[in-house]
Amino acid sequence: MATMSSSSTTTQCSEPSGVWSFTTLLNPIAEVFFTSTTSTKNLWLACGTGILVGVGLCRLATIMSRASRRPKNVKVVYFKMAGRAGAVRAALKLARIKYENDFVDRDSMQELKPRLPFGQVPVFEVNGEIVAQSNAFLRYVGKFSGLYPDDPFDALKVDEIVDGVSDSMLLLRPSLLEKNPDKKLRMRKELISSDGSLRVFLQNMERLVQRNQDKSGAIGRGHACGKELTIADISLFTILKMIHDEIFEGIPRTLLTNFPLLKNIHDNLNGLDVWGL
């Protein structure tokens, strides 16, 4: 296993010889503007205004183009439960995208399985085409509702939390599959012990949310990334709600009291009328 060195080096890039910097380019333009006649200045201002209007129109065109590609006839194929489709259903409601539930059970799942992209649900039917992977579809829906950032780095920070939540569900999977009730409870107790993997996950997520809120200046506002609601909050809420509702026997809701920022996210989102099927 590779270890992380305690020291690091930073490479600073200097400007190559012969390449103009932004300041070098801007200075003569400013000099020409301030030494120009009034009529010439007006022409410069008119050009600048035209550029700003053009940028605004391009932005408007992007928004309208995206709106025209909003999904229609969405179908959510999953069991009659929230599970891994809960976040997607909530995002669809927030985006005001109508959808239809196609519930499966164990019997119908066996018949359906060979026709699924990865042999599992949830899958989503969009305009007649079947697509898999709930996180991928969650991002897709988020792009039509302002729940997923346009800025690449902001989107990366959202993805960091969404994918982290997926990892947390893998921690719970062994105990979910365990059939012996006594062993199941022992496994759950280990998960939330002082160094248990679920507790450590929540500690790490609490610290990540703290850093994100410190950076955005949105401390205590109940959002995981930035100042606005994103799919990161929706995804994180799903695991927090399951803990709060004591879905996992042996994991008490009081566990969340150790993580005030995460509990705040849960409490803020719990009042949204989007969590039903």
Quote the tokens at residue 44.
């410069």
CATH architecture of residue range(s) 74-142: 3-Layer(aba) Sandwich (3.40)
Residue whose tokens read 């609490």 = 206
**Which is more confident, 97 or 45?**
97
Angle subtended at Cα 275 by Cα 269 and Cα 277, rounded to the nearest 5 degrees: 175
How far is the C-alpha of 87 from the C-alpha of 212, rounded, in Å? 21
Which residue ranges does the chain devote to CATH 1.20.1050.10? 152-270
Report the pLDDT value the prediction gives residue 21, as an integer from 0 to 100.
45
The fraction of the chain above a pLDDT of 90, given in percent, is 68
Are the CB atoms for 245 and 82 separated by under 8 Å?
no
Highest mean pLDDT: which of 16-30, 39-53, 77-91? Answer: 77-91
| Length of the chain counted residue by residue | 277
- Which of 156, 126, 130, 145 lies closest to 87 in space, CA to CA? 145
State residue 78 phi and psi, 5-degree precision.
-165, 175
**Residues 71-96: what's their mean pLDDT?**
94
**Residues 42-53: what's their mean pLDDT?**
69
pLDDT per position as a tens digit, 11-38: 333 333 333 444 454 555 556 556 666 7
Least confident of 95-99, 178-182, 221-225: 221-225
**Residues 63-74: what's their mean pLDDT?**
66
Q: Which residues pair with 154 in a beta bridge?
A: none
Are the CB atoms for 94 and 274 separated by under 8 Å?
yes
Measured between its terminal Cα atoms, the distance across the chain in Å is 44
Report DSSP letters for 26-38, one per residue: HHHHHHHHHTS-H
Residue whose tokens read 């690091």 = 8
Report the pLDDT value the prediction gives residue 66, as an integer from 0 to 100.
54
Which residue ranges does the chain devote to CATH 3.40.30.10? 74-142
How far is the C-alpha of 151 from the C-alpha of 160, rounded, in Å? 14
Report the pLDDT value the prediction gives residue 56, as an integer from 0 to 100.
60
pLDDT per position as a tens digit, 200-220: 999 999 999 999 999 888 776
pLDDT bin (cut points 50, 70, 90) of residue 1 is very low
152-270 is a CATH 1.20.1050.10 domain: yes
pLDDT bin (cut points 50, 70, 90) of residue 55 is low
- Which of 115, 119, 60, 125 lies closest to 92 in space, CA to CA? 125
